[in-house]
Structure 1
Amino acid sequence: MTVSTDPDAAAEAAASINGSRPRTGRGWLLVVAAIVVGALLGLGVGLLAPRLSTPGDDSVEAGFLRDMSTHHAQAVEMAMIAHAASDNPGVVTLAADIATTQQAQIGYMQAWLRGWKLSPTGSKPAMSWMPNSAGSLVNGLMPGMATPEQLTTLRKATGKDLDVQFLTLMRQHHLGGIHMAQEAIDLSGNEDVDWLAGTMVTAQQGEINLIDDLLKKIQSS
């Protein structure tokens, strides 16, 4: 999966998730605008960040950024589905936060790959940057990623069922992302990558706590 940091592509992806019911009004437009701005900010800051060395094509850093870009892209997709279709204010707010934060992080990661003169996608299998990673892939998917069937079911869901599906899938997605980011911190010698991976761990651990609270409230209602 190729992830684009082009602002027009980001806006189009955010506004046209297959099967989503479009959320109308100012709130929806603000989320789409925030995703585009986040991508641009990530791109700009990523290109300006100082580096003492340039990771190679087979490096841990390049592999992590490529895989996490793909991982994040699915989180943005699921978040936009929920933001468009949910009637729960807590779910809508969380979905917007996830979409904007992770799209901005995609901007950082893709900008760094370009700055290192590397392709945004690699020729090696997913997770090959991580030692003994074979067991991390399930049906070819990285840790925590939803299957195509789960995404199809999510797009068709409504009401409470949509909220529970989204939160459950995103919780698993975050756990997988945290695992990948922690491994990157342990293996990488690049300060920029360590910093970004650390922010991912902190943010997603906090969002898991919020997800757990939302799930309890929704399931008891």
Structure 2
Amino acid sequence: MMEHTNLTRRVASGLTAALLATGALTGVAVAAAPPAQASAPAASDQAARFEVDFLTGMIDHHHMAVMMAEMCVEKAVHDELAATCESIVATQSAEIATMQQWLEDWYGISHEPDMTGMQSMHRFHDLDGEEFEVAFLRSMIRHHWGAIREAEKCLANAEHDELLTLCSDIRDAQLAEIAQMQDWLQEWYDLPGGRPVGTA
């Protein structure tokens, strides 16, 4: 995921504010507090930095998927694909909003999706019919694999239960969508839909 130049500074500032709010920097004991409370940062600096990196990166990643899926809703030939793309738009837009709220609540950070990757979508604009569907399915499969890899890292490194649940949901939903898209590539276009190499 992309590194944000001022990320460390913002994380440190957000952590300091959150720790002051909980009394952790003033010597006030927080009795029997769970490691990651609903409106507090992760207990360890390492986990906190991971969560901020993950959330900002996944917001950007989801935003790209939403943009691609919105184009798919307009251009898809098969109704099943259009319906799946509508579902991607709805689900991942809601997840973006949730992750933005967590960044704000836990770390005092506001993050809008990074638009740098949008130029990679230009290749879809001139495609229609079979060409569009094949290019879209292959690209979304690659994109989903990238999200799954990051979700697996999240499950190993995040502390907030809500985030762990979301990461599990992302992994399971996108694995299921990959399997469906691979089937469509085979069924509709007699093309292999195996796991692609590389990131989205």
Flag whether TM exceeds 0.5 (same fold): yes
Letter in 1 for 2:66: V
* Structure 2 counterpart of 1:54: 41
Mean CA deviation greater in 177-186 or 84-93 = 84-93
Q: Which whole-Å deviations, capped at 9, do the CAs of 1:52-90 have from their partners, x for residues lacking one?
A: 732479621111111000000000000000111112112
Structure 1: runs of 5+ lacking an equivalent? 2-49, 127-140
Contact 2:103 2:110 in 1 (8 A): yes
Give the Cα separation in 2 of the matches to 1:183 and 1:58. Answer: 14
* Structure 2 counterpart of 1:184: 154
* Structure 2 counterpart of 1:102: 92
Give the Cα separation in 1 of the matches to 2:49 and 2:147. Answer: 19
The partner residue of 1:208 within 137, 161, 178 is 178
**SS at 1:77 equivalent:** helix
Give the Cα separation in 1 of the matches to 2:56 and 2:78. Answer: 33
The partner residue of 1:73 within 38, 42, 63 is 63
* Structure 2 counterpart of 1:115: 105
* Structure 2 counterpart of 1:164: 134
Aligned residues: 151
1:6-25 mapped onto 2 (5 Å cutoff): none
1:94 deviation in Å?
A: 1.1
Structure 2: runs of 5+ lacking an equivalent? 3-36, 192-200
Give the Cα separation in 1 of the matches to 2:175 and 2:135. Answer: 19
Q: Percent identity between the aligned chains?
A: 25
Give the Cα separation in 2 of the matches to 1:58 and 1:194. Answer: 13
TM-score between both structures, scaled by the size of structure 2: 0.68
Do residues 154 (structure 1) and 141 (structure 2) align? no
Give the Cα separation in 2 of the matches to 1:54 and 1:92. Answer: 39
Contact 1:79 1:98 in 2 (8 A): yes
**SS at 1:53 equivalent:** coil
**SS at 1:95 equivalent:** helix
TM-score between both structures, scaled by the size of structure 1: 0.62
Mean CA deviation greater in 166-175 or 112-121 = 112-121
Give the Cα separation in 2 of the matches to 1:51 and 1:91. Answer: 37
